[in-house]
Amino acid sequence: IIMRRLIIHAPGIHVGGGVVLLKELLSEKCLGNVCVNLDERAAAVISVPKWIELHYIPHSIIGRLKAEIYLKRISKKDDSVLCFHGLPPLLPVQGNIVVFAQNRHHFESESLSQFALKTRLRITLERLICRLFKARVHEYIVQTQSMKNSLMKWHGGSPVIKIMPLMKKLEKSENKSKLENKFDFVYVADGEFHKNHHHLISALKLLAEEEIFPSLCLTLSKRHEDIMNKIDVEIANHDLKISNIGEVSHDEIINLYRSSTALIFPSTTESFGLPLLEASQLSLPILASEKDFVRDVCTPVQTFDPQSPISISRAIKRFLKMTEQTQQIYTSSEFLNKIGFKE
């Protein structure tokens, strides 16, 4: 069946990997009869071709609700509706409803207690929407096998799920050229709790106790200024070599990969992990959590337990080719001698 029109519904997509993927999708020259409902905050980073019908969604609860009403009003039975934000429509919508599931938190039941209150409320509401209106979804699109497994387990039925990884193909010429290394490690991530900055910083503190000071570059935006303030305290107290360049463009991120020795990725959960794929395409070594989502998309040179700063620090030392002193093993006679028992 040839769909008469594609409606891309993308409220809330304005930063991070989601906006990179949406920008790539909208740059496709073969797009024909397309309508896009775009978050107004994405206007600064996404240039929508003039031939595409565009409707901006205000950043407010009322704006989101009006966008759902607008989606219901414009959809027709032959349309394909791509819910790029990962949630089913709040109202009954005509057409083939496709949900591009990009947020693993929607389908996994882990506690949200460590997240900020605003984030907890948002994810809880989104989980409820996914559960209440899942019957409206004709098919889901995910980007990894582990994401499909999570979605299948959560759904409880037999949903149509397609694994379709989407990302911008980096030019081969970028693989050949590398800028002068400015940082030992780079971590491209926002400041959400599951990104695990706290354990990464604890690992660097352990290394500092051994007089090891690898340089690290972060990309924390002003939205996570509280986290950076805490990191600044640790930098001052332990002389850590950490720089934060803030939220930058995707082109600047690519240059950041190319001016770093390796990507370190201690995240505890991801739906896709775009930086892992980008680093792989640029042949940048990867140190990452020993998690299914990592192995779905890349082969890291070192892995670690993301919940253990000791494990992270040891992986860093292995990568830097620093020997780890192993514990001496004693014979029974040596043991008795050490505790002062001698014949």
Full-prediction pTM beyond 0.85?
no
Say if CB 98 and CB 139 are below 8 A apart. Answer: yes
Q: In this structure, which amino acid lies at residue 283?
A: S
Short-list 109, 133, 100, CA closest to 11? 100
| Top mean-pLDDT range of 83-87, 110-114, 248-252 | 83-87
Q: Name the band, by pLDDT with cuts 50, 70 and 90, for residue 15.
A: confident
**Is pLDDT of 248 > 90?**
no
Number of neighbouring beta carbons within 10 Å of residue 232: 14
pLDDT confidence of residue 114: 80
Burial 139-167 (b: 16+ CB within 10 A, else e): ebbbbbebbbebbbebbeeebebeeeeeb
Note the pLDDT of residue 175: 44
The mean pLDDT of 231-256, rounded to a whole number, is 92
pLDDT(226) > 60? yes
Statement: residue 178 has pLDDT above 70: no
Cα 319 to Cα 287: distance, rounded to the nearest angstrom? 8
Pairwise CA distance, residues 192 & 223, whole Å: 10
Q: What is the mean pLDDT of the chain?
A: 89
Alpha helices in the chain (DSSP H): 16-26, 61-74, 117-132, 145-155, 172-176, 197-209, 225-238, 250-258, 274-281, 292-297, 309-319, 332-338
pLDDT higher than 60, residue 176: no
Confidence of residue 210 (pLDDT cuts 50, 70, 90): very high
Asked if the model's pLDDT at residue 86 lies above 90, the reply is yes
Residues 6+ apart with CB under 8 A from 330: 338
- Token reading at 74: 């414009």
At 171 the pLDDT is 63
C-alpha to C-alpha distance for 45 and 158, rounded to whole angstroms: 37
Per-residue confidence (pLDDT) for residue 257, from 0 to 100:
94
- 289 to each of 26, 199, 293, 298, how far by Cα in Å? 32, 12, 9, 12
